[in-house]
Amino acid sequence: MLSFFKEYKKFAVVFGIISIIIVVIIYNTLNTYKPLDIYAPARVSTELVDSTIQYKKKYHKIANFALTNQNGKTITQNDYKDKIYVADFFFTTCQTICPIMTKNMVDIQKEILNDDDVMLLSHSVTPEIDTVAQLKRYAKKKGVNDKKWNLVTGDKKQIYQLARKSYLAVKDNPNAGPFDMVHTENFMLIDKKRQIRGFYDGTNKEDIEKLLKDIKHLKKEYDQ
């Protein structure tokens, strides 16, 4: 009788070990890579989205553009082809949230400085003030690396349409002209297919840390 229980005990131990191994294998199989969400206008607050596309639930991409950077160079989607990038909207004379946003973007720049897959793009919402010369002064003052980060100005209507119809990032300014806008603190993470993969509070350090983690996570998508 005792020998029977000894054999049973050995069997139970072996069975337990095998069961644990099977559970671990199943867990690792099921715990596969989960891609970041893809954002469309219908998922974003309506106050940030042009009324003509608020219904759109998928197939949303950043439109083509042609803007001028701090060096007087024309910047288009070709400069961001096959790149992941972080975008925002700002203006150089802003004294409220912009200095914080710019500082946090500088911190992101430090983290992605040697990463050829990632770039930054900041759009001025006051292009009539933010001339090329003004952007250049601002870039030098803030430590912008020209190879990683473009500060762009240009036609106000085009910037407005990019903000409202592509990046879903600014509010209308009903008390001003037709293309006047109130920028938000949002940073947008854009993938290599020109899709929005995340929104982050550009004034919040925890959100910046999450953004940096999401960049690494997004890069894995292209390694699958």
pLDDT tens digits for range 116-159 = 999 999 999 999 999 999 999 999 999 999 999 999 999 999 99
Predicted TM-score (pTM) of this structure? 0.85
Distance, C-alpha 186 to centroid of its chain = 9
Enumerate residues 6+ apart whose C-beta is below 8 A from 67. 74, 75, 76, 123, 152, 153, 154, 158, 159
Give the separation between CA 101 and CA 204, rounded to whole angstroms. 9
CB atoms within 10 A of CB 200: 23
pLDDT, residue 24, reads 42
DSSP 173: -
pLDDT, residue 32, reads 78
Q: Please, are residues 116 and 109 in contact by the beta-carbon 8 Å criterion?
A: no
